Amino acid sequence: MKFGNERHELIKKTLKGKNVSVICNISSTDGKFNHIADILLNLGTRLKSIMGPQHGFVIDKQDNMIESGNSIHPVYNIPVYSLYGKTREPDAEMLSGVDTVVFDLQDVGARYYTYIYTMANSMKICAKNNIDFVVLDRPNPVNGLNIEGGTVQKGFESFVGQYPLPNRHGMTVGELAQMFNAEFGINCNLEIIKLEGWDRKNYWDADPEHEWIMPSPNIPTFNSALVYPGQCPLEGTNISEGRGTTRPFEIFGAPYIKHGDFLKHEAIKTLLGAVFRPLFFEPTFNKFAGIQCAGFQVHVTNRAEFNSLKTSLAIIYAINDLYSGTGDFQFKSPPYEYEYQKMPVDILLGSDKPRLALGDKAGFEEFCSVVDTGRDIFTEQRKKYLLY
C-alpha cells in the first residue's frame, strides 16, 4: 500500500512551480519514516511554511485547549504556524505568497478528532483566497466500513463536531474533504492524491509496511485508536479517560468505582467483543491527578463484534446508574474545546438528548437509540464521496 505522500510523481506534477505550505505534525511520515517536509523539499517543492494542528507541530501539548505558538523551524528555517492558538484557521500572514496548501495528517476515524476540522477550516480560507488545497490521503485506521453512532444535531456544532458526522465515520481524510467541499458549501479548488492499494475493510495493522506513529500525545498505540471513537465522550464526564497514564482511552476509571458492582451491571453484561480487566491507576495529570482510581483496561477480543461507542455508552450508563445518586458521578462543565456554554458531553454526543435521557432513567437500549439519531442519513450521503 502507498500513502498519498508516497506517490511522488503525482506530488511533483501537482505542486510543480507552486509556493507551498503544508499542514502536518512530526508524525506526518511515510512508511520509511521520512517526514512530509523532507519529502516535499527532496521533490523540489518550494516549501514556504508549515502549519500545525492541535497539540502543536511537535506534538508536545498534552491536553485540550492548550494552545501552541508560532516558531521558526530549526532545520528548514521556515515559519511554523499554529492552527490551534490565536486562530484555528490560516490567516493572511500564514498564506502570504502561498499558491497551494497541502494537508498530510493522520486521522483516527472519529468525529471528535479535530484535525479534520483544521482541514475544513483551512479549505474555507483557501476557497476565499483562490489557493489550491491538496490532500495526501491516508487510511482510516479503524477501517472504512464500520459506522457507529449518530450525527451532530443542529445547534450542537463545535470544534469536536463541526459537521453532521457520526461518532465513527468510516471515511478517509480525502473522502471527508470531498464531502466537506461539496455538501457544506466550501467549494475550494480541491485535489486528492489517493491511497494506492488500500482495502476499506482493513484495520491499520493489516499493513506491515507502515508502523503506527502516534498522531497526538494520547493516541500512543493503534489500540488507543481502536477504542477512541467510543471512549472520547468520557471527556465530558468526571470519569478519567486514562489521560496521565501510559494507556489513555484504553484505561478508564475513578476513585469512587467498585469493580464488582460495575461488572455486574446489566448494561455491561450485554457487551460483546471486549473484556474489562480490573486495575488501579494513578494519573500523573488531568482528572484525579495523583489520586488512586479504580478502573479497567478495555481489551478488544473480537473486532467483528466490538462496537466502540456502544461499549463506552454502557460505561457511562452503568457508572451514572451506580454513582450519580451518591453525587460521585458528574458530567463535566464547560469550557471544553472553545465551547463555553454547552455541556461537553452534549457536544461530544451530538445533542443534549442523551444526557437528558439518563436523567429521565431511560433504559440502556433507549439511551443508545437516542445517540444513534441521524446515522442513516449520513450513511446514504457519504456513498458518493467514497474513493476506494
Q: Which residues contact 327 (CB under 8 A, 6 or more apart)?
A: none
Task: Indicate if 207 and 230 belong to the same structural domain.
Answer: no
Rounded distance between C-alpha atoms, residue 143 and residue 201, angstroms: 5
Task: Indicate if 262 and 173 belong to the same structural domain.
Answer: no
Tell me: the pLDDT tens digits for 211-266? Answer: 999 999 999 999 999 999 999 999 999 999 999 999 999 999 999 999 999 999 99
Task: Indicate if 53 and 157 belong to the same structural domain.
Answer: yes
Rounded distance between C-alpha atoms, residue 55 and residue 60, angstroms: 6
Task: Indicate if 67 and 194 belong to the same structural domain.
Answer: yes
CA 191 to chain centre: 22
At 332, list the grid cell: 463535566
- Cell match 467549494: residue? 187
Residue 216 lies in a domain: no
Of the chain, the end-to-end C-alpha distance in Å amounts to 13
Closest listed residue to residue 20, CA positions, set 76, 99, 77, 91: 99
Rounded distance between C-alpha atoms, residue 153 and residue 146, angstroms: 21
Rounded distance between C-alpha atoms, residue 115 and residue 254, angstroms: 29
Closest listed residue to residue 230, CA positions, set 309, 114, 131: 309
Task: Indicate if 131 and 79 belong to the same structural domain.
Answer: yes
Sort 79 into a burial class: Cβ within 10 Å, 0-12 / 13-18 / 19+.
middle
Tell me if residue 278 falls in helix, strand or coil.
strand
At 219, list the grid cell: 493516541
Tell me if residue 135 falls in helix, strand or coil.
strand
Closest listed residue to residue 107, CA positions, set 11, 215, 240, 201: 215
Q: What residues does 2 pair with on adjacent strands? A: 196
What is the total count of domains within the chain? 2
Q: Which residues contact 81 (CB under 8 A, 6 or more apart)?
A: 49, 50, 51, 52, 70, 90, 93, 94
pLDDT recorded at residue 59: 84
Rounded distance between C-alpha atoms, residue 119 and residue 177, angstroms: 8
Task: Indicate if 118 and 231 belong to the same structural domain.
Answer: no
Tell me if residue 190 falls in helix, strand or coil.
strand
At 123, list the grid cell: 479549505
CATH code, domain carrying 312 = 3.90.1150.140
pLDDT recorded at residue 164: 97
Task: Indicate if 200 and 320 belong to the same structural domain.
Answer: no
Task: Indicate if 155 and 34 belong to the same structural domain.
Answer: yes
Stretches in the chain below the pLDDT threshold 50: none
Q: Which residues contact 92 (CB under 8 A, 6 or more apart)?
A: none
Task: Indicate if 207 and 243 belong to the same structural domain.
Answer: no
pLDDT recorded at residue 60: 73
Tell me: the pLDDT tens digits for 113-167? Answer: 999 999 999 999 999 999 999 999 999 999 999 999 999 999 999 999 999 999 9
Judge if the upstream peptide bond of residue 53 is cis by omega within 30 degrees of 0. no
At 18, list the grid cell: 507552486
CATH code, domain carrying 207 = 3.40.50.12170
pLDDT recorded at residue 240: 98
Contact 388, 144 (CB under 8 A): yes
Task: Indicate if 101 and 229 belong to the same structural domain.
Answer: no
Alpha helical stretches, state H, 33-162: 36-42, 92-95, 115-128
CA 117 to chain centre: 10
Task: Indicate if 177 and 123 belong to the same structural domain.
Answer: yes
How far, in Å, are 65, 210, 339 from residue 86 at the CA level? 11, 34, 15
**HEC sequence for 66-111:** CCCCCEECCCCCCEEEECCCCCCCCCHHHHCCCCEEEECCCCCCEC
pLDDT recorded at residue 377: 95
- Which residue range is the domain that position 94 belongs to? 4-211+379-385
pTM over 0.85: yes
Contact 202, 210 (CB under 8 A): no
Task: Indicate if 228 and 206 belong to the same structural domain.
Answer: no
